Structure 1
Amino acid sequence: MDPHRTHVPAGPGDRPFDACVGLGYHCETTYQLRRITGVDRAHFFDWLDLDLDAVTEAVRGDFRDVLRPGAVEPFGDGRCALDRGSDIRFFHDFSPSDGERLTQADIDTQLPGVRAKFAALAERWRELAASPAHVLHVHLDAFDEASADDVRRLRAVLAAHHPGHACTLLWLRRTPPADADALPPGILPRTVAAAPGRWQGDDHAWDAVFGGLRVPRPALPEAGDV
């Protein structure tokens, strides 16, 4: 048996991560992971707006409650679509027909195509979790809402639904968690500063966090490349 299939990594000193998978809170996570790793392969939670509880429940339900017909409606004066079944906000997957605000008709018409896209991404999630890959799951707790108990709950759900999945959770907050001592191995609490007025976040703050993590990096140009 491959020992990496049952081992829960204690931190960055273990073998390198093969993949980084974002778990929200919003687009900052997706942008920064793609910038840092140079990998733009899409994952289920990319470019979505959702808190840690929504991530946990989506994984617990194997994504069955995401984008159910009749549960998706315009939200925020039509700036996004809210999925009531999963409490996920979709800012980029539905397009307003008038170019400004989403309507219920827009959502109902486009829902089959959006559902097909996320069904494929859910299958990609399952395949990665069933593979030998060592995965760093990254959640930006952008408003410092989650507790150590919340992060442990997600870790338990991952272990229950994907036995043998070699992964570590990187829990990013704006301020240090008061209950960090309650975290078990396999969960890394770190802080990353906000960048007011810049949805992409603070590049330097993210670089500081990932400087000590063995994650995929963009390939360096070969000698002579322009």
Structure 2
Amino acid sequence: MSTTAIIGFGVSCQTAYQIRRHTRNEQAFFFDWLITENIDAIDLIVNGFDANLFLPETCRVVDKGLRVLDPWSGLKFQHDFPTAEGSIASDFISARQSVKDKYLFLRDRTLKAMNSEFPVFIRYEWPSSAHNTDPISACARFRAAISRNSDQRALYVLASESIPESRACENMLVCKLRPFQGPESNRWKGDDASWDDLFSFVRHQIPLELSSTSALLSEDR
């Protein structure tokens, strides 16, 4: 029986958190807990990943000690390397191979899900990343980055506080999120009500023949 895979593609952990809140599926994919500012990193997990990720001579700690930047991919890793007193440990590179093995596994799982029947791909953009182009054009770029590595009929969703209004075009949705209101420590999670609206919108775009096996839950979640 087919199941619609819901896969997050950054830019931050907010996407993965909200997908899990709605699907209750704890299975991790490659980009769930990374900072993925470069959408073209999707190509990199297919091409050259084994040889080029986490080169010891190039990886460095950034963002006031919170993350490890891999310059080859542009990805930032916050939750995988050892820490000391709240910051990435100075000998973080010693964990290179175990972290790399983890992401090799997540890569294979993600590529398999990307090629399942009618996957849903969701990307959140920082509110400060004001789109210089129409949001539909920005979503089309997101779609292009994925479709180079998946030939499945799919739904592409781009969400941000900087999007003027939610709308649909072909197999793309752009969704406006409202600014988060609450404790600063929870800001990374985003505005739950906005994401509720987004998933309601997505739910109605899933083909009827797949709706009963979608990873999305019913309205009475």
Give the CA deviation at 1:137: 0.6
Would the alpha carbon gap of residues 116 and 59 (structure 1) be closer, same or farther in structure 2, given more than 3 Å must change? Answer: same
SS at match of 1:211: helix
Give the CA deviation at 1:43: 0.5
Whether 1:201 and 2:185 are equivalent positions in the alignment is no
What is the identity, as a one-letter code, of the residue corresponding to 1:64? Answer: G
CA contact (8 A) 1:169 1:188 kept: yes
Q: Give the total of aligned pairs.
A: 198
Report the aligned-residue RMSD.
2.8
CA contact (8 A) 2:139 2:157 kept: no
Q: 1:30-89: per-residue Cα shift (whole Å, max 9, x none)?
A: 1111001111110010011122xx232332561535633133211122211111111111
Please list, as runs of the form range in 1=range in 2, the aligned pairs for 1:55-66 lying within 5 A after superposition: 55-59=39-43, 62=46, 64-65=48-49
Give the CA deviation at 1:218: 4.8
SS at match of 2:69: strand
The list of structure 1 runs, each at least 4 consecutive aligned residues, that deviate by more than 3 angstroms after superposition, is 144-150, 217-220
Would the alpha carbon gap of residues 208 and 157 (structure 1) be closer, same or farther in structure 2, given more than 3 Å must change? Answer: closer
Q: Percent identity?
A: 22
Whether 1:39 and 2:25 are equivalent positions in the alignment is yes
Q: Unpaired segments of 5 or more residues in structure 2?
A: 204-213
What is the identity, as a one-letter code, of the residue corresponding to 1:151? Answer: C
What is the identity, as a one-letter code, of the residue corresponding to 1:30? Answer: A
Q: 1:195-224: per-residue Cα shift (whole Å, max 9, x none)?
A: 15222111111112212322524589xxxx
Q: How far, CA to CA, are the matches of 2:98 and 2:41 in structure 1?
A: 23
Aligned residue in 1 for 2:102:
117
Q: 1:180-203: per-residue Cα shift (whole Å, max 9, x none)?
A: 99x852211111113152221111
Would the alpha carbon gap of residues 201 and 17 (structure 1) be closer, same or farther in structure 2, given more than 3 Å must change? Answer: farther
Q: How far, CA to CA, are the matches of 1:61 and 1:27 in structure 2?
A: 18
Q: How far, CA to CA, are the matches of 1:209 and 1:130 in structure 2?
A: 23
Aligned residue in 1 for 2:146:
158
SS at match of 1:213: helix
Give the TM-score, by structure 1 length: 0.76
Q: How far, CA to CA, are the matches of 1:204 and 1:68 in structure 2?
A: 38
What is the identity, as a one-letter code, of the residue corresponding to 2:91? Answer: A
Give the CA deviation at 1:149: 3.6
Give the CA deviation at 1:130: 3.0
Would the alpha carbon gap of residues 92 and 187 (structure 1) be closer, same or farther in structure 2, given more than 3 Å must change? Answer: same
Aligned residue in 1 for 2:61:
74
What is the identity, as a one-letter code, of the residue corresponding to 1:121? Answer: L
